[in-house]
Amino acid sequence: MSTIKIVAILLIVVGIAGLVYGGFVYTKETHEASLGSIEMSIQEKRTVNVPLWAGVGVLLVGGTLLFVPGRKSQ
């Protein structure tokens, strides 16, 4: 399997995941304090929304790379 086909399949999977989940959540440490033997940290959950057009676009690019034949070298 060629590298382009592998990339195309990965793009299709990422596009489908973007359409199904619509975003992802991650945790970020924002503040940290140390008072002697006591240590404190604050973690915030952040949400990143993936736009519908981005998921469809990635899916279309992956499908195009997978199904359109590439050039053959001579």
pLDDT tens digits, residue range 18-72?
899 888 888 988 878 888 888 888 888 999 898 999 999 999 999 998 888 766 6
Instruction: Report the predicted TM-score, pTM, of the whole model to 2 decimal places.
Output: 0.67
Domain housing 47: 3-67
* Residue spans of alpha helices (H) in the chain: 3-21, 52-67
Give the chain's radius of gyration (CA, Å): 21
How many domains, in total, are found in the chain? 1
Q: Is 11 exposed, middle or buried (0-12, 13-18, 19+ CB in 10 A)?
A: buried
Reduce the DSSP state of residue 37 to 3 states and report it: coil
Q: With respect to residue 72, please indicate whether it lies within any of the assigned structural domains.
A: no
Q: With respect to residue 20, please indicate whether it lies within any of the assigned structural domains.
A: yes
Q: With respect to residue 74, please indicate whether it lies within any of the assigned structural domains.
A: no
Q: With respect to residue 13, please indicate whether it lies within any of the assigned structural domains.
A: yes
Give the pLDDT of residue 62. 92
Give the pLDDT of residue 13. 93
